[in-house]
Amino acid sequence: MIISSTSENKDIEKRIAITPEITKKYINLGFQIQLIKNYGTHLGLNDSQFKDAGAKIINDEKELLNNSNIVVQLNLPKDNQHTMMKENQILIGTFNAYQNKEEIKNFSSKNINVFSLELLPRITRAQSMDILSSQANLAGYKAVIESFAYFEKAIPMMMTAAGTVPAAKVLVVGAGVAGLQAIATAKRMGAIVFATDVRMTSKEQVESLGGKFLTVEGSENLETEGGYAKEASDDFKKKQEELLAETLKKIDIVICTALIPGKKAPLIIKENMINNMQSGSIIYDLAASQGGNTSFTEADKIVNKNGVKIMGEKNVLNKLPVSASNLYAKNLFNFISNLYDKENKKININMEDEIIKNTLVK
């Protein structure tokens, strides 16, 4: 069976779905690997490295896609690429299935089985395939590094003969995987860290990393059975706003990570809150690709509002593409290993398997 991958639009996506290390693993399972020419050269991975690992390099994209059994990508293949694929192939990636229903129909109408891995269930068996967690971990780390680079003061407390430099105060909005990594990174660099989340189960995790959890009085636990955040009530939102507005007056750097799967990002930091923040503060919004957690977030722009810099980035992982690709490729390998019937050397789409059932997009 042939697994292939072609180039993404590198203006918006620098990650790749197969690495030389993972190529060897696929081949050991009995697969063949075919990649488009110059597949990883932008990451310093030459075609010769993939060839040495056992991959075949193909010059023609139509030939590559048409001859494959499984195609693995990051994003949905470009507009015309579904015409290059044939019936009964398998397409695997992170396709934002809620937003891209119409585009996905182009593939499913040809009986191509489309698996979108952001739909993986939050169960123990799926952890090694969990692309949201592996990528969010890196995003949380990088958001802190990027925001600290723009902050024009020292981060840790410094005691000098000339006086004391106070530690920067960081607020992390949303204590999921990205948020927890942001807390850990900021704490390691000497900041005083606060965090807030609608899921009360996050409190213990935040405090274990040295952060202070901001609790909304009379708060409800807004967590789905799958472990994701769900929409808050109007009463909760009002109380959260009051707590945030007061807290933000003394915060230097805010890292926003709050997302609701399949919906626009919740608007958490409003104009009046930003107006009361200290000039020189930074807001780094990881939710920019879904509308942002602030009133002024613009994707891939830095907005200056009364001296507060609001940074929104559609894909912060483009700044860590090698690390992100390594983890993503491993997630995909583990997912395909679960699909693969090793005894009969064929793909088994077992709809009784919760992992397969949840990720197969119709």
91: confidence class by pLDDT, cuts 50, 70, 90: very high
Let me know if residue 200 belongs to a domain: yes
Residue 229 has pLDDT above 60, yes or no: no
DSSP 7: -
Let me know if residue 131 belongs to a domain: no
Judge if 52 and 187 occupy the same domain: no
Range of the domain at 148: 136-318
Judge if 114 and 187 occupy the same domain: no
Judge if 66 and 197 occupy the same domain: no
Residue 173 is part of a domain; what is its CATH number? 3.40.50.720
Catalytic residue among 7, 133, 205, 325: 133
Rounded distance, CA 66 to CA 74, Å?
A: 18
Catalytic residue among 99, 109, 127, 208: 127
Judge if 150 and 100 occupy the same domain: no
State the total domains in the chain.
Answer: 2
Helix then strand then coil, % of the chain, to nearest 5:
40, 20, 45
Let me know if residue 88 belongs to a domain: yes
Catalytic residue among 49, 108, 122, 278: 122
Rg (CA), the chain: 22
Catalytic residue among 89, 116, 130, 205: 130
Let me know if residue 214 belongs to a domain: yes
Contacts of 32 (CB under 8 A, 6+ apart): 1, 2, 3, 56
Mean pLDDT calculated for residue range 14-18: 98
Rounded distance, CA 131 to CA 57, Å?
A: 26
Let me know if residue 125 belongs to a domain: no
Catalytic residue among 47, 128, 228, 278: 228
- Stated as kind and residue range, the H or E segment containing 180 is helix 177-188
Judge if 93 and 207 occupy the same domain: no
Judge if 352 and 264 occupy the same domain: no
Judge if 357 and 295 occupy the same domain: no
Query: Is 133 annotated in the active site?
Result: yes
Rounded distance, CA 192 to CA 289, Å?
A: 28
Judge if 146 and 286 occupy the same domain: yes
Let me know if residue 203 belongs to a domain: yes
Query: Is 122 annotated in the active site?
Result: yes
Specify the pLDDT at position 153. Answer: 96
Strand partners of residue 305: 308
Among 28-32, 173-177, 226-230, whose mean pLDDT is lowest?
226-230
Judge if 158 and 31 occupy the same domain: no
Mean pLDDT calculated for residue range 227-232: 57
Let me know if residue 326 belongs to a domain: yes
Query: Is 34 annotated in the active site?
Result: no
Specify the pLDDT at position 209. Answer: 97
Let me know if residue 124 belongs to a domain: no
Residue 217 has pLDDT above 90, yes or no: no
Phi, psi of 11 (to 5 degrees): -70, -25
Judge if 333 and 310 occupy the same domain: no
Judge if 161 and 285 occupy the same domain: yes
Judge if 43 and 176 occupy the same domain: no
Query: Is 340 annotated in the active site?
Result: no
